[in-house]
Amino acid sequence: MNKGQQLRLSDLLPDWLSPDDLLIFTAMGAVFLIVYSIGQIFIDRDRMAPRLKAIAQRRAELKSGLLGPTRRKKVQSQSSMEFIRQVVAQLKLTQQHSMDELQKRMTRAGYRSKDAVIIYAFAKLVAPFAALALGLVLAKIDWSAPFALAKIWKWLIVLSVAYFGSSLPDIVIRNKRDKRYHAIRKGLPDALDLMMICAEAGLSLAAALDRVSKELGRSYPEIAEELSLTSVELGFLPDRTVALKNLADRVDLQEIRGFVNVIVQTDKYGTPISQALRVLSKEFRTERMLRAEQKAARLPAMMTVPMIVFILPTLFVIVMAPAIISVLDTTSK
């Protein structure tokens, strides 16, 4: 592109991709996303199957810890996963992080597999290089004069894409954790109501948690998984307080910590658990209603900019256009 020439879209695209092709690919992607979104509504997925597998693994771990070491069976892993393990082991990528803290982060995001930490470390290694290659393709750097002052903005694009790629694994984990926490916070009042009913019916804490997890398996699978894991740990661990504190560690929410503290105190002082659960459920429902009211109160302020940018110009055109047309017709005559 010569100096003073207007920047066009074709100048930013690779040679093999024209603006028409970009428009076609964009339309195809939009149609695919629309069809995929509509299909997801009609697909009834069993979201509890992988969570039940995690619960079974945790039960097996606790059982093996009580019965002593057993001989592990040889399992042939997939070649891709074996390659990832070898790369992480050779480069010692896991030593750059605190394993306990990293495992806790992955667990809070819902990734309970032992290979989750290895996959995360491998993604942190590969993502920056993949993003750098993508940035070089998008920037279309002229390698005959790569460091020309007029082309410095292309290197800014490359560095920005590479930085985004290096942060992508952390962004994915953070978003997954936030969505999971939101689902748990949303289903906690209903879980406490069911636990209160089970406690008043005479069920023990472990039996109540197991029953509630089965009832909420389809509507709130995230909290059902956590309650089921806690029920398993209550049955195997000698101290109930440890199992409840493990729940607070897996779900770092103020509501869960309050629930755990209440259960620990009722167990310590012998107070009725149903009454404490009734108070907690009412408090959490009130907080959920307050959060909904806060979102509703922010809505007018959020709608101000769209109204000014999109609605008011259209309204002005509709109101003023007939008068302008009539004035033009009058002056032309």
Q: State which H helix or E strand residue 238 sits in.
A: none
pLDDT above 90 covers what percent of the chain? Answer: 5
| Phi, psi (deg, nearest 5) at residue 90 | -70, -40
If DSSP codes are grouped into helix, strand and coil, which group holds residue 77?
Answer: coil
Instruction: Spell out a b/e string for 47-70, using b for 16 or more CB atoms within 10 Å of the CB, else e.
Output: ebeebbebbeebbeebeeeeeeee
Three-class SS state of 143: coil
Report pLDDT digits (tens) over 110-130: 888 878 888 888 888 899 899
Q: Is the pLDDT of residue 74 over 50?
A: no
Residue of 58 and 152 predicted with greater confidence:
152
Contact between 19 and 13 under an 8 Å Cβ cutoff? The reply is yes
Check if the beta carbon of residue 284 is closer than 8 Å to that of residue 188. yes
pLDDT confidence of residue 171: 92
pLDDT tens profile 274-332? 888 888 888 888 888 888 888 888 888 888 888 888 888 888 888 888 888 888 888 87
With a CB cutoff of 8 Å and minimum separation 6, the contacts of 9 are 19, 22
φ, ψ of residue 107 to 5 degrees: the values are: -65, -40
Tens digits of per-residue pLDDT, 157-177? 888 888 898 899 999 999 999
Domain edges within the chain: 11-40+81-175, 182-289
The model's pTM is 0.69
The string of pLDDT tens digits covering residues 304-314 is 888 888 888 88
**Which residue type sits at 33?**
L
> What pLDDT digit, counting tens, does each position of 225-234 carry?
888 888 888 8
Enter the tokens of residue 197: 């009913």
SS3 239: coil
